[in-house]
């Protein structure tokens, strides 16, 4: 009934009011709860940003300590979850595993299934979701190596614990380089929220039917997987590697990206909202230089990425369409320097985006938003007569 406005891809349709993230695509501004991303990336920690996004305020020291403490009490995942890990082929994509494993958590923590939770119940679901995600992500990595999993240790903060479970060994005590801890914090902060993007909108719309937090986040992970969204960080490194193997001829690949008969796109370039620059890409590019220098790594693909950016930013095709490097253009080079394999990159994006998904899911519930249900303009046949199968 009524008049339907068509906006395929929701290019200009607001689906909600939100007080979480402010984004100005023309001016390249990104703020979480009013705090500029540049300042948070420099001064804050991932867990503090998670608190800020979910609760709306920066925590006091006591609030932060108690938040960390609560999370650390829930980092174990049920031992029977290991059967799910065992069931996946060892080379299966980590994003498929993550989406399934997060949904499977709902079977082990059924108290989260109540559609009308008290504030305390909702708080506990959020704490469990945050706590268990880091364990699940690091165990997916361990499985890919065929190594035994490392259990969480509550003496560590969130990010150090994650890195310890990822790079630690049962056979010896492994010190995690503070450069790696700091780089990981920066990357996770930069990914923590980005208003109504594809995966976040998915989390909100799934949650709007009163699905539980695990099902909603699992759907967000599936949406993030695609190469036009979070999957771009894996696609960028694969593209840079291909260009390297091809002799490093960036002009040739720029020409391919411009060719409308070629499906190839310059991965890590362009954004639906940013039309001048992506502020996250600026921070990541600089962090990339710093981190590789500190770790003493010389990666040829960084040179190729910089050359590609330089050529593209002068090319009328990219200038006219306002295509700039996005958050995914340089992040993979850092993840690689930290020791992560390419197919883990999008999983790290998911770990970073988790507080944003949770904050948006909670806001949708707090605002008592109705079920999400877009309309359509029907273009099919109107009246047809059923023909018996023998006569078709």
The residues binding ligand CMC (CB under 6 A) are: 9, 197, 228-230, 232, 257, 265-272, 321, 323, 326-328
* Residue with Cβ nearer ligand CMC (24 or 177): 24
The nearest distance, CB 194 to ligand CMC, in angstroms, is 7
Question: Is 271 designated active site?
Answer: yes
Burial of 97 (0-12, 13-18, 19+ CB in 10 A): buried
Active-site choice (193, 278, 328, 343): 328
- β-partners of residue 30 are 23
Nearest to residue 277, comparing CAs of 11, 38, 14?
A: 38
Q: Which residue is nearest to ligand CMC (CB)?
A: 270
| Beta-carbon-side half-sphere exposure of residue 46 (alpha carbons within 13 Å) | 28
Distance CA 250, CA 273 (A): 26
Question: Is 328 designated active site?
Answer: yes
The nearest distance, CB 247 to ligand CMC, in angstroms, is 21
* Residue with Cβ nearer ligand CMC (125 or 346): 346
* Residue with Cβ nearer ligand CMC (193 or 363): 193
The nearest distance, CB 14 to ligand CMC, in angstroms, is 16
State the distance between the two ends of the chain, measured CA to CA, in whole angstroms: 34
Nearest to residue 340, comparing CAs of 85, 75, 138, 98?
A: 138
Distance CA 142, CA 88 (A): 13
* Residue with Cβ nearer ligand CMC (207 or 356): 356
Distance CA 31, CA 53 (A): 11
Q: Would you say 275 and 211 are in contact if contact means Cβ atoms under 8 Å apart? A: no
The nearest distance, CB 256 to ligand CMC, in angstroms, is 9
Q: Measuring CA to CA, how many Å separate 311 from each of 118, 235, 316?
A: 55, 19, 10
The nearest distance, CB 199 to ligand CMC, in angstroms, is 8
Give, to the nearest 10 degrees, the angle between helix 178-191 and helix 328-338.
Answer: 150
* Residue with Cβ nearer ligand CMC (26 or 293): 26
* Residue with Cβ nearer ligand CMC (143 or 191): 191
197: which residues sit within 8 A by CB, 6+ positions away? 229
Active-site choice (93, 164, 271, 278): 271
Q: Would you say 207 and 364 are in contact if contact means Cβ atoms under 8 Å apart? A: yes
The nearest distance, CB 69 to ligand CMC, in angstroms, is 32
Distance CA 174, CA 376 (A): 55
Tell me which residues are annotated as active site: 271, 328
């Amino acid at each position: 009934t009524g008049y339907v406005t068509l906006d395929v891809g929701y290019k200009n349709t607001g689906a909600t009011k939100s007080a979480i993230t402010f984004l100005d695509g023309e001016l390249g501004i990104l703020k979480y709860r009013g705090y500029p991303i540049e300042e948070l990336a420099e001064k804050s920690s991932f867990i503090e940003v998670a608190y800020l996004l979910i609760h709306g305020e920066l925590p006091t020291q006591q609030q932060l300590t108690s938040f960390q403490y609560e999370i650390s009490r829930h980092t174990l995942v049920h031992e029977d979850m290991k059967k799910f890990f065992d069931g996946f082929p060892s080379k299966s994509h980590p994003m498929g595993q993550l989406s399934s494993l997060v949904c499977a958590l709902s079977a082990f923590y059924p108290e989260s299934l109540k559609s009308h939770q008290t504030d305390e119940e909702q708080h506990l679901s959020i704490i469990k979701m945050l706590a268990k995600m880091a364990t699940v992500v690091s165990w997916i990595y361990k499985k890919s190596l065929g190594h035994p999993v490392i259990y969480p240790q509550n003496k560590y903060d969130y990010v150090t614990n994650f890195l310890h479970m990822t790079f630690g060994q049962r056979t010896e005590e492994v010190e995690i380089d503070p450069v790696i801890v700091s780089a990981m914090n920066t990357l996770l902060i930069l990914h923590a929220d980005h208003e109504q993007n594809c995966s976040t909108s998915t989390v909100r719309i799934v949650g709007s039917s009163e699905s539980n937090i695990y099902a909603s986040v699992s759907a967000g992970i599936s949406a993030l997987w695609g190469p036009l969204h979070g999957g771009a960080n894996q696609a960028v490194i694969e593209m840079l590697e291909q260009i390297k193997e091809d002799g490093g001829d960036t002009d040739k690949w720029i020409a391919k990206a411009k060719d409308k008969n070629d499906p190839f796109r310059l991965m890590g370039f362009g954004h639906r909202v940013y039309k001048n620059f992506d502020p996250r890409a600026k921070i990541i590019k600089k962090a990339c230089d710093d981190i590789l220098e500190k770790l003493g790594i010389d990666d040829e693909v960084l040179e190729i990425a910089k050359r590609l950016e330089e050529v593209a930013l002068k090319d009328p095709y990219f200038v006219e369409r306002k295509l700039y490097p996005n958050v995914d253009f340089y992040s993979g080079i850092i993840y690689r320097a930290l020791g992560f394999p390419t197919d883990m990159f999008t999983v790290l994006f998911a770990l970073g985006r988790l507080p944003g998904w949770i904050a948006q899911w909670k806001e949708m519930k707090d605002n008592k938003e109705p079920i999400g249900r877009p309309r359509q303009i029907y273009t099919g046949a109107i009246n047809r007569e059923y023909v018996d199968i023998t006569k078709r």
